[in-house]
Amino acid sequence: MDLLLKNVRVVAPDHDEPQALDVAVTDGRITELREGIEPVAGTRVVDGGGKIAFPGVVDAHQHWGIYNPLSEDALTESRACAQGGVTTGITYMRTGQYYLNKGGEYAEFFPEVLRATEGRAHVDYAFHLAPMMKKHIEEIPALVGDHGVTSFKVFMFYGSHGLHGRSADQNSFLMIPEGERYDYAHFEFVMRGIQRAREQFPEIADEISLSLHCETAEIMRAYTELVEGAGELTGLEAYHESRPPHSEGLAISIASYLAHETGLPTINLLHLTSRKAVDAALRMSTAFPHIDFRREVTIGHLLADITTADVGAKVNPPIRPREDVEALWEYVLDGSIDWVVSDHACCKDEKKFGEDREDVFVAKSGFGGTEYLLAGLVTEGTKRGLSLGRMAALVSGNPAKRFGLRTKGAIAVGFDADIALVDPDVSWTVRAADSESTQEYTPFEGFDMTARVTDTFLRGQQVLEAGEVVGEPVGQYLRRPLERA
């Protein structure tokens, strides 16, 4: 026994409310879980002070290296992860502008990604990859077999949009070969390629999936022209109107039918932001019951609305009005949402804003928030009657299972000793200055929280102690397994 965690209330996978249990850890794995465990010689004993022990958060939607060098983000933004009880971050990665600012094949691109992050992260990490061109589709089996990458992504809105707005030169932005298009036909062929990989690796077929950013470029282009032309709206309200909720709904419908057409049953619908978006997703589940849809929302869309945050909260899809925030909570509470993520994308102040800081259409898209994911969910979820067990499933258990992280997502014997201790009886106010992220601002500035992560353990090693990140980076790249144990 290397570590014995005592005096904690454990959120176990089969209980809604926490249980008073001790947690014994040997060689990074949980080996015993019961009351009254006695330490052996040489065991480090940690008194949890009666705090709630959550499974380490599996933040399944992050973006390291999008605005800062990847090696830099791996270090600093993983510190923000540890600060928030996140022990596994899964980051989306693609070729093209931003990230490594390179095109080409993943055979050359992805090893560079792994080199840039090796030995830099304070938490464990994995990657979702986006097939941006025909050659990438051919590479899917190699990415699964050689690198343990089993999750992929399509950005549906890139049809005629860049990352932040209209883009007349898609090929230059995405760095794809001349003559190729990133369009619905490409999305179909990506689905067919992933389905072929599922057939090639039948033992893990349920862990090979496609995630989709569902917005419709044509709708967004037309509405952006209307909003900018009228000149009546500003800030987040203007951005919300320029990328309306039915744009999400239409894209979800198209993506779902393509999944039906191609026979790909493992579909993840990312960062749903509105009642219309979730309604469309649920309608598609009814229309295509043979497709295993999973539905995701972000903590940003559960906490902020167009009146509580400023241009710093520009993100794709947009922050919505309060009625959509409340609708998302309804869906969280009734079980329609499968997991909650941060969509963490550190964008420093000097990059985020244009010369006119109030011009939402020139601001960059995305912001950080992994450090507030668990605390925010516990704060708001508790008010609304969401059980702690359900919270643990939303931020840990469900994404771990979907994405093939078989030793993550639960405080249970045999699992990695990834644990976040949460004080549920503390009041504090979010201040960007207190964050480990290098972002320098946050859309959650001034938000009042009633729960806080105090300590984080990664495979039994303490990476956050009394609110402070400790030790050298010990995070590892998680190559997802090809076989069942």
160 or 29, higher pLDDT: 29
Q: Are strands 57-62 and 52-55 parallel, antiparallel or unpaired?
A: unpaired
Query: How many CB atoms sit inside 10 A of residue 468's CB?
Result: 11
Task: Dig out the tokens for 462 from the structure.
Answer: 């303490």
Give, in order, the Cα–Cα distances in Å from 231 to each of 237, 311, 350, 419.
Answer: 12, 16, 25, 49
Rounded-to-integer distance, Cα 485 and Cα 481, Å: 9
Helix (H, G, I), strand (E, B) or coil at 473: coil
In a domain, 28, yes or no: no
* Three-state secondary structure call for residue 355: coil
Q: Torsion over CA of 324, 330, 334 and 337, rounded to 10 degrees?
A: 30
Predicted pLDDT at 410? 97
pLDDT tens-digit profile of 73-101?
999 999 999 999 999 999 999 999 999 99
pLDDT at position 224: 93
pLDDT of residue 88: 99
E-strand stretches of 266-423 = 266-269, 292-298, 339-341, 419-423
Q: Where are the beta strands (DSSP E) in 110-171?
A: 124-129, 151-155
| CA separation for the pair 364, 451 (Å, rounded) | 30
Q: How many CB atoms lie within 10 A of CB 213?
A: 20
Q: Amino acid letter at 284?
A: M
Give the CA distances from residue 93 to residues 23, 63, 158, in Å, rounded to whole numbers and listed in that order: 35, 7, 15
Phi, psi of 8, rounded to the nearest 5 degrees: -130, 160
Find the DSSP H helices in 384-445.
388-392, 398-402
Task: Give the predicted TM-score (pTM) of the model.
Answer: 0.97
Is 434 in a helix, a strand, or coil?
helix
**Residue 98 covered by a domain:** yes
Distances (CA, A) of 152 to 61, 90, 312, 378, 427: 12, 11, 28, 29, 39
Q: Is residue 421 part of a domain?
A: no
Q: What is the mean pLDDT of the chain?
A: 96
Q: Please report the pLDDT score of residue 203 as a whole number.
A: 97
Q: Is 2 helix (H, G, I), strand (E, B) or coil?
A: coil
- The CATH number for 304's domain is 3.20.20.140
Q: Does residue 469 form part of some domain?
A: no
Instruction: Quickly state the pLDDT bin for 172 (edges 50, 70, 90).
Output: confident
- Mean pLDDT value across residues 323-347: 98
Segment 301-330 shows an average pLDDT of 98
Q: What is the pLDDT of residues 234-261, one digit of tens each?
A: 999 999 999 999 999 999 999 999 999 9
Residue 103 maps to a domain? yes
Taking each helix axis from N to C end, the angle separating 217-230 and 235-242, rounded to the nearest 10 degrees, works out to 140
**What is the sign of the dihedral through the CA atoms of 193, 195, 199 and 202?**
positive
Of all helices (H) and strands (E), which one includes residue 7? Answer: strand 3-10
Instruction: Tell me how far apart the alpha carbons of residues 474 and 416 are, in angstroms, rounded to a whole number.
Output: 14
Distance CA(56)–CA(70), nearest Å, equals 23
Q: Are 442 and 366 in contact (CB under 8 A)?
A: no
Considering its fold, how many domains does the chain have in total? 1
Residue 347 has pLDDT above 60, yes or no: yes
Domain assignment of residue 331, given as a range? 56-405+428-447
Residue 455: how many other CB atoms lie within 10 Å: 26
